[in-house]
């Protein structure tokens, strides 16, 4: 994933929309490049990431930058390919429209559309909420 550097649209100081877009892109770049140090720097000290389901590996709420990075590392280690469909920007953060695909060692396939919503406060990701198109499919994939 390559993103151009986020600059202001009108040569003015970056507003919160520009900052939020830049943070969303940095999150995606860190995930794609498996740059865990860069990803950790994006999170606030009390950041949390909620995912649906009952899977003991990825579901529920993870709290703290190190735990959030560990979750991202686990997703990356499972061989998930992430296609960025859209980056949607708002004053409270960024919604990432994504398509994840993978096949694990036991032959189970993952084909998941998701929205990952980053709530940004004071220039840091404070909250990550992930919404899945197929919670049962995610649980089956990561359980096998």
pLDDT exceeds cutoff 90 at 86: yes
Q: For the chain, what is the radius of gyration of the CA atoms?
A: 15
Question: Does residue 135 or residue 10 have the better pLDDT?
Answer: 135
pLDDT exceeds cutoff 80 at 53: yes
pLDDT exceeds cutoff 90 at 10: no
Residue 33's Cβ-side half-sphere holds a number of Cα atoms within 13 Å equal to 14
Domain assignment present for 88: yes
Tally of domains in the chain: 1
For residues 10-21, average pLDDT: 73
Task: Name the band, by pLDDT with cuts 50, 70 and 90, for residue 68.
Answer: very high
- Percent with pLDDT over 70 in the chain: 90
pLDDT at 12: 44
pLDDT exceeds cutoff 90 at 100: yes
Task: Name the band, by pLDDT with cuts 50, 70 and 90, for residue 66.
Answer: very high
CATH number of the domain within which 90 lies: 3.10.450.50
For residue 64, which phi and psi values (nearest 5 degrees)? 95, 145
Domain assignment present for 2: no
pLDDT at 69: 97
Domain carrying residue 118: 16-143
Domain assignment present for 126: yes
- Cα separation, 64 vs 58, in Å, equals 15
């Amino acid at each position: 994933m390559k993103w151009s550097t986020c600059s202001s649209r009108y040569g003015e100081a970056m507003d919160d929309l520009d900052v939020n877009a830049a943070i969303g892109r940095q999150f995606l770049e860190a995930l794609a490049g498996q740059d865990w140090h860069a990803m950790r720097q994006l999170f606030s000290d009390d950041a949390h990431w909620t995912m649906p389901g009952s899977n003991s590996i990825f579901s529920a709420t993870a709290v703290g930058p190190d735990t959030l990075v560990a979750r991202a590392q686990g997703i990356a280690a499972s061989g998930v390919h992430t296609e960025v469909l859209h980056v949607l920007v708002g004053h409270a953060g960024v919604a990432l429209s994504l398509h994840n695909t993978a096949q694990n060692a036991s032959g189970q396939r993952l084909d998941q559309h998701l929205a990952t919503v980053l709530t940004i406060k004071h220039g840091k990701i404070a909250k990550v909420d992930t919404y899945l198109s197929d919670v049962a499919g995610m649980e089956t994939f990561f359980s096998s």
